[in-house]
Structure 1
Amino acid sequence: MDHTAHTGHEQHEQAHGQHQGHGPAATWSTAVQATLHCLTGCAVGEVLGMVLGTAFGWGNLPTTLLAVVLAFFFGYSFTLRGVLRAGVDFRTAFRVALAADTLSIAVMELIDNGVILVWPSAMDATLAEPLFWISLAASLVLAFVVTTPVNKWTIGRGKGHAVVHRYHA
């Protein structure tokens, strides 16, 4: 392949958001979109877990564990729904969701729950107290900021949310 043909091929890949067939380009915009997707699932799971744990009168540990499990559940479910809509069988869609979201959700949950754990009195705040909602919102924002570069890195290697983009063509 001569230099002109190779340059034309590179321009074609860049115009279609791909690099050497690895999937979408690892732009900050793509990383932000992927992280917002994970943040949505995590936030739904976190809030639902905290509300349920509080309603059941559970302590901090079981409530936090429920919130983490639900964050993963909703994060995976949102991805699974989109991939299934693309006509993929359930087993493949489930594997895609695991590949796309596991690292992102894990980092987000580690940061989110770590912030709540070290924030004075946040673990003891009730749903009716502003501290509960302020600390939760701040922890999710910080988790978003930390997770976005992680998603950019994985997308750039054809992993993480890059796996999902193959099914959104």
Structure 2
Amino acid sequence: MTQHSHGPHDGHGPATWAMAARATLHCLTGCALGEVLGMVIGTALAWSNAPTVVLATALAFVFGYSLTMSAVLRAGLGFKEAIKVALAADTVSILVMELIDNGVELVIPGAMNAQLSQWLFWGSLALALALAFVVTTPVNRWLIGKGKGHAVMHQYH
């Protein structure tokens, strides 16, 4: 396994907004893939809100963890260690993102009942993901500053 130092952010230290935004964007990529796929499947199958949200959330975690795992596996980490890094790097970020994203979807009138062909479906989903990014970025900044969250991945880049 090859490890590279990235300076003061390998552990504790000040985290920049740019670092936090990159970490959140990484997380948002996986979350959005899972969230959109779950919402599309639930809507296409005419599921009620609860199973649709559960599927979307589960897929967001699967895709989010998978993106991190693929990066650290490419860096030479073993599978079991890659799982540990993904859990440490992404769990809080994905959890916050999913709470915001699904919460927004549930409070926008008609969003959960909108069909795939309606702008409300796609517009509310885009708004929910954008708000999740805005709320999760400061969380990731705080985590990185504490040497947690995406900070645990820096040694494998």
TM-score normalized by the length of structure 1 = 0.86
Q: SS of the counterpart of 2:72?
A: helix
User: Which residue of structure 1 lines up, in the alignment, with residue 28 of structure 2?
Assistant: 39
Alignment of 1:4-153 (within 5 A): 16-18=6-8, 22=11, 25-153=14-142
For residue 149 of structure 1, what is the amino acid of its counterpart? P
Report the Cα distance in structure 2 between the residues aligned to 1:113 and 1:51, rounded to whole angstroms: 14
Higher relative contact order (CA 8 A, sep 6+): 2
Report the Cα distance in structure 2 between the residues aligned to 1:119 and 1:54, rounded to whole angstroms: 16
Unaligned runs of 5+ in 2: none
Report the Cα distance in structure 2 between the residues aligned to 1:117 and 1:56, rounded to whole angstroms: 18
| Deviation of 1:54 (Å) | 2.2
Aligned residues: 153
User: Which residue of structure 1 lines up, in the alignment, with residue 145 of structure 2?
Assistant: 156
Aligned CA-pair RMSD? 1.6
Cα contact 1:104–1:150 (8 A) shared by 2: yes
Consecutive aligned runs of 4 or more in structure 1 exceeding 6 Å deviation: none
Identity %, equivalent residues? 67
Q: CA 1:41 to 1:63, structure 2 compared with 1: closer, same or farther past 3 Å?
A: same
Q: CA 1:25 to 1:90, structure 2 compared with 1: closer, same or farther past 3 Å?
A: farther
Cα contact 2:13–2:146 (8 A) shared by 1: no
Unaligned runs of 5+ in 1: 1-12
| Deviation of 1:45 (Å) | 0.3
Report the Cα distance in structure 1 between the residues aligned to 2:45 and 2:14, rounded to whole angstroms: 45
Larger Rg: 1
